[in-house]
Structure 1
Amino acid sequence: MTRTTSEIAAALATAEPIYDRVVALAGLLQALAQVRRVADTGEANEAILATCIGSLFRFDARTTADVYGGLENVRPGLLLLRDYLAGANRDEALARIALSVMQLERRFVRDGKMTDRVRQGLQSIQPRADSNGPTHPDVLAAIGQLYAQTLSTLRPRVIVQGNPHYLGQPAVVAEVRAALLAAMRSAVLWRQRGGSLWDLVLQRRRMLAAVEAHLG
């Protein structure tokens, strides 16, 4: 049955503040799905990757959805999250890498020097992204290098498996690392909005309701 706009609005209101957090979690899954796709095929979905990388340069967005340029841009991630929460997503590798990023986020935010370095690095890259687009090879290469110099030094590292043919190509590796940094951006945002791993256990139904409300 199709819900009316008022019913969707009511669902969002009753889901507060979880409905805000699921957007960040959807952004995380959306970025990691691109990590998996690039590692396996050597190619990303250009539009989805642009949303993910673009989120790295929205430092002071007004809302969680604004980080991704609007709620419609994170719809692929919301669909992934809905399937996961409903038990329909069988991609165990995606769930494992998501957990790795969430765990690494704790180490990352505790390292003030590293978080400052990442922010400053992104600010220096932003003019190129504004001029050439967030998925331009030079932009992805710069973000990938920033990831390699910062988050890649933390342990345990996020392990990405895929096709060795593609993972041996510098441009593909840069794209994977850039998408991983976008995933970390969403993980930090999710935690800032009050997210916790316990939500996935104790708030599963409410999270699913919030996702469904967003999807309409």
Structure 2
Amino acid sequence: MSSEAVKQLSKIDYQTLALAGIFEAAIQVEKLATQGMKDKQCFQVLLNSLFIQNPKSPEDVYSESLQSGFEGLIQFLEQGKRKGSHTDRYVHGLLYLQKKLVSTPNMLNTIGQRLELARTQKDHFGVDHENLVSNLASLYTDTLSTFNFRIQVMGEMTYLQQPRIANQIRALLLAGIRSATLWRQMGGNRWQFLLSRRKLLASAEAQLYEIRKNPSKSD
């Protein structure tokens, strides 16, 4: 988005941005699980967001625009659940897990500490290096996967049984939790999702329009 558009972002815009981040993660998870592929730039943007813990402004969490995330959010707000897609279920699962995480401060501290340790690895190898992705996947398994509720990823076993793809999926789910945290920090909650549907849709459409006006900054 242009700098002018960024200055005009409101609280509802920030909530929408965070939701786009959650949808982006869910969309990439589904692509990996069903096609064995992902968008490399989206993957990097989402994983980078894990290491931006104290941004000056919410939009600083994402280094690039979240075009497919906004598109998925708009489709959901306009049409509801898509037949044959698990994206929406992953989104709701991420929101639920993040709520559970907030009520577990020890786990929250563990995640923060291990992300700080992983930062050196990111700076040395790059955010999408296999070693770092494996580390982030282990972090997800050791923490969020220990809740009774778990996100069940559906797809082709040919892909799901590959350790590399399984690690990428878990790393994306962890990044989805980061976006869900931003959503909560911006005042987002279940009722907000239901009662502010029109405002969220209008904001998503406006932000997507700005992204498409600046294609060099889109996914």
TM-score, normalised via structure 1 length: 0.89
Cα 1:174–1:205, aligned 2, differ >3 Å: closer, same or farther? same
Question: Is residue 2:71 matched to residue 1:79?
Answer: yes
Partner residue of 2:40 out of 34, 42, 46:
46
One of 174, 184, 201 as aligned partner of 1:181: 174
Matched residue SS, 2:66: helix
Distance 2:137 2:6 in 1: 39
**How far apart are 1:132 and its partner, in Å?**
1.9
Per-residue deviation at 1:88?
A: 7.1
The residue type paired with residue 20 of structure 1 is: Y
Count of residue pairs brought into register by the alignment:
206
Aligned to 1:59: 53
Runs of at least 5 residues in structure 2 that lack an aligned partner in the other structure: 210-219
Q: CA deviation at 1:47?
A: 0.6
TM-score for both structures, normalised by structure 2:
0.88
> 8 Å contact 2:118–2:132 — kept in the other structure?
yes
Match of 2:206 in 1: 213
Match of 2:196 among 185, 199, 203: 203
Cα distance between partner residues in 2 of 1:106 and 1:115:
11
Query: How far apart, CA to CA, are the structure 1 residues paired with 2:45 and 2:189?
Result: 24
- Deviation string 1:174-201 (CA, Å, 9 cap, x unpaired) is 1110000000110111011100111222
Task: Give the 3 Å change call, closer, same or farther, for CA 194–84 of structure 1 in structure 2.
Answer: same
1:1-216 matches, within 5 Å, as 12=8, 16-70=10-64, 73-87=65-79, 90=82, 92-216=85-209
Quick check: 2:94–2:176 contact (8 Å CA) kept in 1? yes
- Report the AA paired with residue 83 of structure 1: Q
Q: Which runs of 5+ in 1 are unaligned?
A: none
**Any idea what SS the aligned residue of 1:86 has?**
helix
- The CA RMSD measured in Å over matched residues stands at 2.0
Contact persistence 2:81–2:88 (CA under 8 A): no
> Which deviations, in whole Å up to 9, do the C-alpha atoms of 1:148-195 show, x marking residues without a partner?
100000121111111111111111111110000000110111011100
| Partner Cα separation in structure 1 for residue 87 and residue 181 of structure 2 | 18
Counterpart amino acid of 1:198? Answer: W
Letter of the structure 1 residue corresponding to residue 67 of structure 2: R
Distance, in Å, in 1 between the alignment partners of 2:146 and 2:55 is 28
Percent identity over paired residues = 32
Contact 2:21 2:176 in 1 (8 A): yes
